[in-house]
Amino acid sequence: MDIILENIGRRFNRDWIFRRLDYSFKVGRSYAILGPNGSGKSTLLQVIASSLTPSAGSVSYTSRHGNVEPDQVYRHLSLAAPYMELVEEFTLVEQIRFHFSHKAYLQGFDEQALLELMGLDRAKDRPIKYFSSGMKQRVKLSLACCADVPLLLLDEPTTNLDQKGVAWYQHLVRETSGGRLLLVCSNHEREYDFCDHTIDVTHYKA
Ligand SMILES: Nc1ncnc2c1ncn2[C@@H]1O[C@H](COP(=O)(O)OP(=O)(O)OP(=O)(O)O)[C@@H](O)[C@H]1O
C-alpha cells in the first residue's frame, strides 16, 4: 500500500501534537517514526491507520487494486501496539482463530505454524489472561505480522520482551515484512535499525 500525507496535523483541544506534515510512504519500504515519550508517534500512527482523523490536511491510500477509502483502511492493515488488547478470556487457540476469521494468513503460515513461531504450542489451551506480558507481546506481534495485509503497523514492538524476545522480533519482521509497507513507532534502535527511512515527529511541531 502507498500512503500520502498532505499537510496533515492533529491537535487535542488547543495543542497541536504535530502539524504541516507532508510525506509519501511507498509499498515495500519500511519507515521508523521516532521521537521521545509523548511527542506524538502513536497519534501519528493512529492518523495513518485512519483510526483518528487528522485535524488538518488529508491522508490518501492506494492499494494494488486502486484507491482505498479511509473508512476501509482497517481491512488492509494489521497493528501491534501497547493500547491494542488481546481478548483475555480467550485461550490462545481461540484468539488465533478469532483473529484469522477476519484476516487471511500470510502465505506459508497456519494455526500450527503460528503456535510454533510464538513458541507457545504448550500454552495453546490456556486463557490469555494467565500469560506473562512477554508472552502476550509475542502473540500480538505474531498475529500482526502473519496476517496477509499490505500495511503493517508496529508501535513499540519490543515492549515487555527480553533479549531473546528482541532477537525473535527482529527475525519475525525480517521473515514477514517483505513486499508490504511497514511502519514502526519507536524509541529504541533495536526495534527499527532495519528500516529504510526515519521520520522524527519533533520536526513537525511548529
Ligand atoms: N485522546 C487524547 N486526548 C488528549 N491528549 C492526547 C490524547 N492522546 C494523546 N494525547 C497527547 O498527545 C501527546 C502525544 O501522545 P502520543 O501517545 O502520540 O506520544 P508518543 O510519542 O507515542 O509517546 P510514547 O513514546 O510515550 O508512547 C501526549 O501529550 C498525549 O498526552
Domains of the chain with bracketed CATH: 2-204 (3.40.50.300)
The preferred substitution site among 19, 42, 45, 187 for testing ligand 1, maximizing ligand atoms within 8 Å of CB, is 42
Which whole number is the average pLDDT over 72-100? 96
Q: How far apart are CA 191 and CA 154, in angstroms?
A: 9
Residue among 143, 146, 198, 193 at smallest CA distance from 166? 193
Whose CA is closest to atom 16 on ligand 1? 40
- Separation of CA 109 and ligand 1 centre (Å): 35
For residue 130, the SS3 value is: helix
User: Which pTM value belongs to this model?
Assistant: 0.95
Alpha carbon of 12 to ligand 1 centroid (Å)? 9
Q: Ligand 1: which residue has its CA nearest to atom 18?
A: 40
pLDDT at 196: 93
The 10s digit of each residue's pLDDT in 30-84 is 999 999 999 999 999 999 999 999 999 999 999 988 999 999 999 999 999 999 9
Here the ipTM equals 0.97
Question: Cell 506481534, residue?
Answer: 141
Average pLDDT, the chain: 96
Q: How far is the CA of 41 from the centre of ligand 1 (A)?
A: 8
On whether the CB atoms of residues 33 and 201 are closer than 8 A, the answer is yes
Share of the chain above pLDDT 70, in %: 100
Q: Is 46 in the pocket of ligand 1 (CB under 6 A)?
A: no
**Alpha-carbon gap, residue 141 to 169, rounded angstroms:** 8
Position 206 scores a pLDDT of 72
User: For the chain, what is the largest distance between any 2 Cα atoms, rounded to a whole number of angstroms?
Assistant: 52
Q: Check pLDDT > 80 for residue 104.
A: yes
Given this model, what pLDDT does residue 184 score? Answer: 98
| Residue 35 CB–ligand 1 contact under 6 Å | yes
